[in-house]
Each structure stands twice: as C-alpha cells, then as structure tokens.
Structure 1
Amino acid sequence: MKILKLSYFVKLSIFLILPFLCFGQEKEQKEKPELDLGGALRFNYIYSSWKEEQKTKGGEFGYDMFRINAKASYKGIFLNAEYRLYSEAFGGGFLKQGWIGYKFNEKNQFHVGLVYVPFGIKQYNSHNWFFNITYYVGLEDDHDMGFKYLHEDEKWEYAFAFLKNAEELNFGGDTENNSSRYSYDVVGRNKETNQFNAKIVRKLGDSIQHRIGFSGQYGSLYNIDTNKNGNHYALALHYELNWNKWNLKTEIITVSHSPENKEGQSNKIIKMGAYGAPYEIAADFNMYTIGLSKKISVAWGPVSEIEVYNDFGYMQKKEKEFTDSFMNVTGLLLTAGQVYTYIDYAAGYNHSWLGGNFEDDFSTGNPDANWEARFNINIGYYF
C-alpha cells in the first residue's frame, strides 16, 4: 500500500512539474545568442577636373574600402560594430562604430561605446556617395565615445547622449588626436570632451510623411598647450519629407567653437580630421543644406531600382574676411541585387575634397577659387 501511494505521488509530481520543465527548455531555446556578420567591398572610378594627370589618363580606377559588420544579441543585450579598411593614403583601418546596447522594450534603448551622435537627419543628410557638406565638419554620420538613450514611437522620436570624447586612440592628455578615423572630429591642439546632445523629432502624416526635428549639442574643447577648456555648440532645425518614392531632406545649422588657444594662435580657426588627413575649418559658421531624390522601379536585367538625386550645401562663414564654401552633387544610385553603384558628379567651391587648396578651403578660403568637379563611380557589393 505504501509502495502504491509512493508511486502515485511520483507520477503526480512529474505530471505537475513537466510543463514547467518544458517551458524552461523552450525559453532557453528562444534565448540562444544570435550573430549576424556582413560587410562590403567597394571600388572607385575617379575623374577630377583639377588633376591634369587624371585628365590625361582618362581617370583612375582602384580600391576604395572593405568593411566587416557584426551584429549580436542575447537576452535583450545587443552589439553593433563596423570596422573599415581603406588604403594607407586614406587612413588605413579604423572602427567606424561599435556599441553595446540594451533594449528596455520596443520603444526604448540604451547604447554605450562608439555611438552614433544624435544630431540632424538620421542617419544621412544626403543621398549620394560623397554625403553633404555637413559631413565634412563633423555634423553628418558622426560617431563618438559615450552613451545614449533613445525613444521611438508612432509620433515621436528623441535621443539624449553624453559623449566623453571623440575616438581616443592614444589615451594621453598631451597627445593630439589621430586623424585616422571615419567621422570628422576636432584634432590638433584641441580635443572634444564632455559633450551633451539632445534631439527630438515629431512625425506627422500617413501617405505623405513629415519629420520635423530640432537638434542641439554643447561640449568642451580641451587645449593641450594651455591646459584649459574652451567650448563649442551647434543647433539645427531639420525637416524630412517622404511621398510616393520622393524624399526631401533639409537642414539649417549654426555652429560656434571657442577654444582656449595659446597666445598667438588664432581662435577663428579650428582643425578637424578624418581619413588620415587634417584640415582647417572656420570656428564659427552657419550651414544650409537641401537634398531631393526619387526612386524609380525598373527591370533592366539585374537592375531593379534607380534613385536619382541632387544634394546641395552652403557653408556661410561668420568671419567677413573668410570666403564661403559650397557643394553640389548630382547623381544616381543603381540597385542590382547586392550590388549598389553610385554615379556622381560632385562640384565644389572652396571645398577641401573638391579641388583647390586642401588645408584652408573650409576656413579662410580663396575668393579667386574656381568651381571644381569630380566625376565618381563607386561600385560596391554588400553582403
């Protein structure tokens, strides 16, 4: 009798516990770590109006970039990283972005590491391969070291960030920042530090979608020579429209840098760097950009879509003796499976990457400069 009772008790216990064991096993299976690897290989054809050797040869075709992307997640914690390899002439290899995140729920996240800076239209204030003029002063697709909180719902998006500094490669207070980096940051005798960012976007419409936003950032500029902190700030109003495969992006920005330089060094100029090549920019300026694109579905063999666009940018320098800078890119993007091809005609006036004098085009400029142009074809396989 006791044996029968014990057997009955064991069976009942197994019957009651089994569902919980199965649930636990099912939950464990659902929470397995996930890893997604990707990347891209790109090549460039270049024909520049200001390079006689290229004009004589009919342009040049060569290696642009190889990159690896990694995304991972486990139990609400996730990783997003991208490492790029350029030629030595363009800075070699460096981390574009790399952060660890935590997802509180479907609307709220937290990121820490080399994070995307919440400023302006996300993620690109442009449609072309060259970006807009905002990129060349560190105000488009910028990434810095710090942490960020993000919220997104049907009507609102907002983000707050504290950025301790730009990419720090040397960990020395008296060491200049290296220009071998993806996004433009202050280099030379000043360093960005303790920066606060806030961005808010209101979303409106259904068939016609509007995104109206405001961005602001404020931080310190540590000077190596004087051991003092200056400051810098930027404010922006931005608007984006999506309608029937049309996209419009526009921004109005004001920027000021107030470094604590040593005596005899101008406070009207700040030095920025990326791709291994530093240059000067005006310390104080306004910037105005507008870009328009249209996507067209086609059936041309492997080509399934064409996006035509024009992106314009104007840098208005606040020093009267400085000459303003301009940039305009007209082009199209061909989509063929995993291959994306940008065909761009990029023109610039007092633009460091588009002819002229590389060192001071974005700072003092040259009133006698000519508009220069670069015809560029970028072919990339993205996987």
Structure 2
Amino acid sequence: MFSPGLNQIYAQEKPEISVGGAVRFNYNLSSWKEGQKNRGGDFGYDMFRVNFDASWKDLYLNAEYRLYSEAFGGGFMKQGWVGYRFNEEDEIQVGLSQVPFGIQQYNSHNWFFNLTYYFGLEDDHDMGVKYLHAGEKFEYNLAFYKNAEELRFGGDTETSPDRYSYDVVGRNKEVNQVNGKLIYKFGDSIKNRLGFSAQYGGLYNLDTKETGSHSGLALHYEVDFQNWNFKLQAMTINNDPKNLPGESKDILQMGAYGVPYEVASDFNIYTFAFSKSIPVKLGPISNLQFYNDFGYMDKKIASFEDSFMNVTGVLISAGHVYTYVDYAAGYNHSWLGGNFADDFSTGNSDAKWEARFNINIGYYF
C-alpha cells in the first residue's frame, strides 16, 4: 500500500555514503638480493584499496578492502565494523576492528611500520566488539575479540596467513581475547598522551584440543610539540601454547601477507620514534616529514638472538600523492635480511645488518 507520509520520512533519512581508496607503487633495492642489486632494484605494483564510510543517524560503517599481488596474499579485508555513537564521547564498534593495544593509530611514521607490527602489536585488527570513550582528559577502550580474522571455518582448520595484520597461525588459534587501554592527556602547547594497555586471551591448539594463553602489557607515551612528534613504548609479551608433547612452546607461528614465519613465544619489545614536519612550497609539494623509527626485540630465551629494526626516511606530501622514501635496516629481521623463516624466533648469531632502500608512491582519494 502506498503511503506518501512514510515515503517522505524515508527520503529524509537516507544513509550518507562516501567511497575512497588508494593505489600505490613501490621501488626497492635490497642489500641481500644480489640479482636485484645487479639490475638496480625493482619497481612495481604495491596495492589497491577501497574504503567505504556510511552513516545513518548514530549508526555508521567503516570498511577497507585491499588487493595486493598474489605473492603477498592477494585480496583481503583490512578492517570492517558497524558502530553506534551514544554521544560525542562514547561509541561501540562490532566487527573487524583495530585492537586497542599500544600507541595508535600507528607506533611509527614510515611505510614499513615499527618492529611491533611484525608480531601483531601495531595496527592489528581482530573480530569482536570494542567500546571507546574519548573525554577531555582521559580516553579508554574495552574490547572482547572472539578470534582473529577467520577465513576458514572448519573445525580443525588452521588460520589462513592471507591477512593484513599479523596473527598466530599454524596449529594454534587466537580465541577469546580481552583488551583494556587507558590514556591520560595533558598539556596545551606540548600535548602529551601517557597510556597503559593490557591484553589476555586463549591459544586453542588443534592437535591437543586444549587452550593455552597469551598475554601482553604495554606502557606508552606520545608527545606533540609544534611540528615534532615523539613515540616511546615498552611491551612485555608472553605466550603459553598447549602443544603436543615434544613440541616446543618457545616458538609460535605467525602469518600475514600469505606467508607464515616463526616468532619467539616470550619477549620484551622497546620502540622509540620521532618525526619533524616542515611545510614547504616546492611545486605541488606542501610538506616534508622527516623521521627515524627504532625497535628492539629482547627475546626471553637466552640462546635466541635478539632482533632490531631502524628506519630513517621522509614522507613527501603533494596534494593527494604521498611518497615515502625509506632506508630500512634490520638485524635478525624476517623482512630485512633473507632468512625469513626463523629470524624472529631463534635468530642467527652470525647474522649481519641488512638494509632496503624503498620508495613508495601512493595516490589517495
């Protein structure tokens, strides 16, 4: 039955939708790749992404889908949640959301992120529900995550490594994780964010059918002063999987971008990052952000070799085009050195520092 009044109400309450995205290209030259050095590096496709934002009254949607090359896992969702705003300070998100742990949105300034990213401790996203409060002096997040992104729903199926952020894969699965995070904000001309984060969850083993545990604590501090930004963070991470008898509990498998690698179960990680932005007028270039991001992974097993990462670079902003020029160096780093499988677990005492010069050019729309 046609109702003119009802149609008028619906016409006034249509959802607002915006679509954006990015396309990126990448040049890299790596110290450990002889063939690449002989030909002067490689330049190719990096990633295409599409972003959706929609809202209706106090309900809203945020989603991002990314398409990488087949070698890096192909296409997958980075994030996607439905939210509800109770008021200007409080909201709830349900779905694939960023895990509230440590400095956010990023604990870094460069294209590679900091060392924390490679263990699922920076820009990590899991499936669950998150409550957020953002007051004038305090911010806090409380969250429950049923599991990481689940792409395979078999009873004994391993977690797929085809994902954006690192999660436990192999014969263990992340389950029933609880997170809490508190930020105290102070200062006027110098803006300070002092925070503490905690998380605890299960590790369900597909072989033993038993659930172990994983936990983490983080202390973090961020400062903004004029055009300077400083990030300082310390974390302690512990994993206790219930593996089959004879299988080591000292090493876990983690995966993203289509490929798994080994990570030490227990470690401390310390990071320090800073940047300086300089407004300029150089043709279309409006800003240069110079930065240095450092990370140190202190593995708790004495026989394991520790891991390090340092990235020095500049972000060049020109309208919708953002270009990262990075010199990334790593010691016992799976993405910076060639020995991909166990750099982040046992490591290699004979390893040497390796480096990658990288230029990432992205048009964001």
Deviation at 1:264, TM superposition (A): 1.5
Report the Cα distance in structure 2 between the residues aligned to 1:277 and 1:251, rounded to whole angstroms. 28
The 1:30–1:103 alpha-carbon spacing in structure 2 relative to 1, beyond 3 Å, is: farther
Checking the alignment, whether the CA contact within 8 Å between 1:347 and 1:354 is kept in structure 2 is yes
Deviation at 1:32, TM superposition (A): 2.8
Q: Give the counterpart letter for 2:102 in structure 1.
A: G
Q: Secondary structure at the match of 1:136?
A: helix
- Counterpart residue number, 2:346: 364
Report the Cα distance in structure 1 between the residues aligned to 2:105 and 2:239, rounded to whole angstroms. 24
Which of 139, 161, 166 is equivalent to 1:157? 139
Report the Cα distance in structure 2 between the residues aligned to 1:49 and 1:357, rounded to whole angstroms. 13
Report the Cα distance in structure 2 between the residues aligned to 1:336 and 1:29, rounded to whole angstroms. 39
Is 1:277 aligned with 2:259? yes
Q: Give the counterpart letter for 1:188 in structure 2.
A: G
- Counterpart residue number, 1:109: 91
- Counterpart residue number, 1:215: 197
Report the Cα distance in structure 2 between the residues aligned to 1:53 and 1:243, rounded to whole angstroms. 44
Is 1:255 aligned with 2:237? yes
Is 1:68 aligned with 2:50? yes
Identical pairs, percent: 67
Deviation at 1:29, TM superposition (A): 6.4
TM-score in terms of structure 2 length: 0.97
Q: Secondary structure at the match of 2:345?
A: coil
Is 1:123 aligned with 2:97? no
Deviation at 1:31, TM superposition (A): 3.6
Deviations 1:263-292 (A, max 9, x none): 121000010000001000000000000000
Max radius of gyration: which structure? 1
Deviation at 1:173, TM superposition (A): 2.6
Q: Give the counterpart letter for 1:224 in structure 2.
A: L
Is 1:206 aligned with 2:206? no
Is 1:57 aligned with 2:39? yes
Deviation at 1:147, TM superposition (A): 0.3
Which of 181, 184, 190 is equivalent to 2:172? 190
Checking the alignment, whether the CA contact within 8 Å between 1:356 and 1:369 is kept in structure 2 is no
Richer in helix (by share): 1
- Counterpart residue number, 1:132: 114
Report the Cα distance in structure 2 between the residues aligned to 1:350 and 1:213, rounded to whole angstroms. 29
Report the more deviating stretch, 294-303 or 30-39.
30-39
Report the Cα distance in structure 2 between the residues aligned to 1:277 and 1:171, rounded to whole angstroms. 19
Moved over 2 A (4+): 27-32
Report the Cα distance in structure 2 between the residues aligned to 1:359 and 1:32, rounded to whole angstroms. 51
Deviations 1:329-379 (A, max 9, x none): 000000000000000000000000001410000000001001000000000
Q: Give the counterpart letter for 1:288 in structure 2.
A: Y
Q: Secondary structure at the match of 1:135?
A: helix
Please list, as runs of the form range in 1=range in 2, the aligned pairs for 1:286-325 lying within 5 A after superposition. 286-325=268-307
Gaps of 5+ in 2: none
TM-score in terms of structure 1 length: 0.93
Give the count of matched residue pairs: 360
Please list, as runs of the form range in 1=range in 2, the aligned pairs for 1:334-353 lying within 5 A after superposition. 334-353=316-335
Which of 268, 273, 279 is equivalent to 2:250? 268
